[in-house]
Structure 1
Amino acid sequence: MLHYIMKRLIHLIPVLLGMSIIVFLIIHAIPGDPAQVILGQQATAEAVAALRESLGLNNPWYVQYFSYLQDIVTGDLGDSLRTRQPITTEVWPYLAATFELAFFAMAIAVIVGMNAGIISAWFQNSKFDYIVMVIALVGVSMPIFWLGLVEQWLFSIKLGWLPTSGREEVRDPVIAITHFYLIDTLIQGRFDQFVIVLKHLVLPGTALATIPTAIIARMTRASMLEVMRSDFVRTARAKGQRMLIVIYKHTLKNALIPVLTVIGLQTGLLLGGAILTETIFSWPGIGRYIYEAIGYRDYPVIQSGILIVAFLFVMINLLVDILYTVIDSRIKYN
C-alpha cells in the first residue's frame, strides 16, 4: 500500500507541472494589464510602467514562469499582485471556508442521497421510487445559480428565516482560530455564534448539495439493485434476517464501491467548482478568491489557486482508492 501511495504521489508531479504550464499560458493570454487594473484608469503611463517593472511583468513569459516554478518548488506560492501579501498565508482562510461549505454540502448529499437511493432500490417500482427518481432528475438538471437566487428570495427575503449571504454576522464576527467557524465557535464556547454560522451555511450548502445528492441517489439505487439480485442477499432474506441487517450489512456494503467513487469525484468538484455558489452567497471561499483575482489580473493568485484545487482533487481520489481496500479486503494494490 505504501508503495502504491508513493507511486501516486510521484505521478502527481507531472500532472501539476502540466497544469501549471496550461494555466500560465491561458492566464497570460487574457487581455488586460495587471498594473493598470491595480492603479486604476486615471494612473499615468509612467506610474503603470514603474509598477510593471517592480512586479516583473516586463520580463519574458518564460522568465516569469520559471521564476514562479522556482517559488513553488521551495514551497512559496509567491505574493499577490493586488494585496502584496504572501499567498501561502492569505489563501488559508479562503480554503477553510470552502472546506467547511463543501463538507457541509457533501454531508447533506451523502445522508439524503444514499438513504433515498437505498429505499428507492428496496421498494423498486413503487410510488416512492418514481418520486425519488423524478426529483433526482430535476436535481441533476437544476441550474445552481437559479436555485441559489430562489432560495435567497424565498427563505431570506420572503420568510426571513435564514441570512441572505455571508459567513458570519458583521456585528459579531467570529474570532478565527482554525478558520473553520463551526469548530472555532465551539472551541470558544460561543454556541450562539455556532447557530448563526450554521444558519449561514444552510442556503449555500443546500444549493451546492443539490446535484451531488441527485447523482448519489441514482448511483446508490443502481448499485443496490445489482447487488440485491445476488444469491447471498436472497439467502439472507430467506433466513428471515431483519430488513435493516440485510440492507446495511449485506447489500449496501457490497454496493458501496461505485457509490464511494461518485462521492469522491463530487467532493473534488465541490472544492473546485463552487465559484457560482460562493459568488451568489458572498461566501469567502477559494472559488470566489480566484474569481476576484481574475478580475484584477492577479496572475500568481489565479495560478496558485488552480494548482491547489488540482492538488486537492488528486488527493481526494487517492483517499478514495485507499478506502476501497478498507471496504473490500479483496482489493489489493501491488
Structure 2
Amino acid sequence: MLAYTIRRLLLLIPVLIGMSLITFSIIHLIPGNPAHTILGEQATPAAIEELERNLGLDKPYIVQYGLYVKGLLTGDLGTSLRTKSPISEEMRPFLAATVELTIFSMIFAIIVGVNAGIVSAWKQNSWFDYTSMIIALVGVSMPIFWLALVEQWIFAQELGWLPAFGRENARDPVEIVTHLYLIDSLLSGRVDQFWGSIKHLILPGIALGTIPMAIIARMTRSSMLEVLRSDYIRTAKAKGTHQFFVIYKHGLKNALIPVLTVVGLQTGTLLGGAILTETIFSWPGMGRYIFEAIGNRDYPVIQSGILVVATIFVLVNLVVDLLYAYVDPRIKY
C-alpha cells in the first residue's frame, strides 16, 4: 500500500506542473498587451508600464514562470489588482464557504444516492425501483437554477422553514476561527449558531447535490445489479446470511469501485461548478469570487482561483485512487 501511495504521489508532480503552466499562461493568452487590456482603453503609458512591472511582464517568459512557481511554493498567490490585498488571505473565506457547501452537498448525494441505488437493485423492477430511477433521471435533467428558485419559493417564501440567502444569521454572526462556520460554531460552543448554519446549508446543498445524487444512484444500481448476480452472493444467501449483511457487507464493497469514481469526479465538479447556486443563494464562495474577478479583469485572482480549484480536484482524485486500493487490494498490484 505504501509503494502504491508513493507512486500515485509521484504521478501528481507532472500534473501539477502542467496545471501551473496553464494557469500561468492565462494572462499571456490575452490578445495584445495584457496590461493595456486590464487597465482599459483610457490607460496612460505610465500606468501600463507600472502594471507591467508589478506583474513582472517586463521580464522574459521563463523568468516570469520561475517567479510564479517560486511564489506558489511559498504560498504566495500574488496580489489582487482590485483590492490590493494578498490573494491567499482574501481567498480563504471564499474557499472555506465552497468547501463547506461541497462537503454538505456530497454527503447528501452519497447518503441518498447510494442507498436509493442499493434498494433499487435489491428490489429490481419494483415500484421503488421505477420511482427512484425516474427521480434520478429528472434530477440529472433538472437545471440547478430552476430547482434553487423552486426551493426558495416553497421552503423560504411560502413555508418560511429555511433561510433563502447567505451563510449565517446577520444579527448573530459566527465567531470566525477556521471560516468553516459549522466548525467555528462548535468551537465557540454555540449550538444555536451551528443549527443556524445547517439551516442555511440545506437549500443550496440540496440544489447543488441533486445532480450528483442522481448520477450516484444510477451508478450504484447498475454496479449492484452486476454484483448481486455473482456466485459468492448466492453462496452467502445459501449459508443463511441475513439479507442486510449480504447486500451491505458482501455486495456493496465489491460494487464501490465505479461509485467511488463518480463520487470523486462529482466532488471536483461541484468545487468548480457552483457559480449558479452560489449566485442564487448569495453564497460567498469560490464560484462568485472568480466570476467577480472575471468581471473586474483581476487576472491574478482568476489565475490563483483556477489553480486552487484544479489542485483540490487533483487531490480529491488522489484520495479516490487510494480508496480503490483499500476497497479492492488487487488494485495496488
TM-score, normalized by the shorter chain, greater than 0.5: yes
Cα distance change on mapping 1:213 and 1:234 into 2, 3 Å: same
User: TM-score, normalised to structure 1's length?
Assistant: 0.90
Q: Distance in 2 between the 1:187 and 1:293 partners? A: 32
Q: Distance in 1 between the 2:52 and 2:257 partners? A: 54
* 1:52 and 2:12 aligned: no
Deviates more, 1:127-136 or 1:55-64: 55-64
Unpaired runs of 5+ in structure 1?
none
- Per the alignment, residue 115 of structure 2 pairs with 115
Cα distance change on mapping 1:94 and 1:67 into 2, 3 Å: same
> What SS does the aligned partner of 2:80 have?
coil
Cα distance change on mapping 1:46 and 1:329 into 2, 3 Å: closer
Q: Distance in 1 between the 2:33 and 2:203 partners? A: 37
Alpha-carbon deviation of 1:45? 3.8
The answer as to whether partners of 1:16 and 1:307 remain within 8 angstroms in 2 is no
Letter paired with 1:55: N
The answer as to whether partners of 2:39 and 2:48 remain within 8 angstroms in 1 is no
Cα distance change on mapping 1:165 and 1:38 into 2, 3 Å: farther
> What SS does the aligned partner of 2:220 have?
helix
* 1:286 and 2:273 aligned: no
- Per the alignment, residue 177 of structure 1 pairs with 177
Alpha-carbon deviation of 1:179? 1.2
- Residues 42-80 of structure 1: CA distance to partner in whole angstroms, max 9, x if unpaired? x87478447635633763683654432332233321122
Alpha-carbon deviation of 1:257? 1.5
Cα distance change on mapping 1:241 and 1:12 into 2, 3 Å: closer
Alpha-carbon deviation of 1:210? 0.4
- Residues 69-99 of structure 1: CA distance to partner in whole angstroms, max 9, x if unpaired? 3322333211222222222222222221111
Q: How many residues align?
A: 332
Cα distance change on mapping 1:231 and 1:56 into 2, 3 Å: closer
> What SS does the aligned partner of 1:84 have?
coil
Letter paired with 2:291: Y
* 1:78 and 2:78 aligned: yes
Matched ranges for 1:76-225 at <5 A:
76-225=76-225
The answer as to whether partners of 2:177 and 2:184 remain within 8 angstroms in 1 is yes
The answer as to whether partners of 1:32 and 1:297 remain within 8 angstroms in 2 is no
User: TM-score, normalised to structure 2's length?
Assistant: 0.90
Q: Distance in 1 between the 2:18 and 2:254 partners? A: 37
Sequence identity (%): 66
- Per the alignment, residue 17 of structure 1 pairs with 17
Cα distance change on mapping 1:57 and 1:33 into 2, 3 Å: farther
Cα distance change on mapping 1:27 and 1:137 into 2, 3 Å: farther
Matched ranges for 1:220-299 at <5 A:
220-299=220-299
The answer as to whether partners of 1:33 and 1:297 remain within 8 angstroms in 2 is no
Q: Distance in 1 between the 2:49 and 2:290 partners? A: 26
Cα distance change on mapping 1:275 and 1:34 into 2, 3 Å: farther
